[in-house]
Structure formats: structure tokens, C-alpha cells
Amino acid sequence: MSRKKPTKPAPGLDLPPGLSLQPEGYAGWLLELKGRIYTAQQRAALAVNRELVLLYWQIGRDVLVRQARQGWGTKSIDHLAHDLRTNQMVDSLPPELQTSRPSIEQIES
């Protein structure tokens, strides 16, 4: 298998020290890879957001059902928020994903 020759700079243009010539097509392939990485990151972020919205909706629905059927009140929600905040699993999450009372109230509505 033959190797492609590196592209040469235009006559009179010198490469900065430490830069090497790349094979033909390298720059285009690099741009393509960057685009694919960006697209995959965006799809992953959307999937995470979709799952979190579904989770929050389910939690809100569960809270409303318990309030209606079992008479849960504000103290139950306060207790739930406290327990979720102090749970080791939740503490290991980034702050924006940790549950607090205001976010539980927002979930309900």
C-alpha cells in the first residue's frame, strides 16, 4: 500500500517551527471527525435531557397521586426533598442535577 505524499506549502510560505506537513486529505478528515464528534455530543445531550424530563415528570405525577390518594402534604414533600438531598447517590451528582425543594415544587406543576 503506497503512502500519500504530504502536501507542500505554497512557494515562498514557510511553516512555523514545530509544524509538520500533513498527508493529503488530512485537514478535511479532521473537520469531518470534529463534526461527527459534535453531532454525537449533541445527540447524547438531547437523550440525557429527554430522560431527565421524563424522570421529573414521573416524580411529579407520583407526588400528585400520593397527595390526592394518601393526603400527602407539604411536610411530606419537605421530607422527600431532604432525603433526596442527603442520599449518597444524589450527592455525587453535579449540583444542577441534585434535587431540592424548589425543583420538586416545579416538578409538580
84-104 residue pLDDT tens: 777 666 666 677 666 555 565
Say yes or no to pLDDT of 61 above 70. Answer: yes
- List Cβ neighbours of 4 (8 Å cut-off, separation of 6 or more): 23, 24, 25
Task: Put residue 96 in one of left, alpha, beta given phi > 0 → left and psi -120 to 50 → alpha.
Answer: alpha
Would the pTM count as exceeding 0.75?
A: no
Task: Give the residue-averaged pLDDT of 44-64.
Answer: 94
Query: Are the CB atoms for 78 and 101 separated by under 8 Å?
Result: yes
Q: Give the 3-state secondary structure of residue 22.
A: coil
Report domain extents, the chain. Answer: 27-108
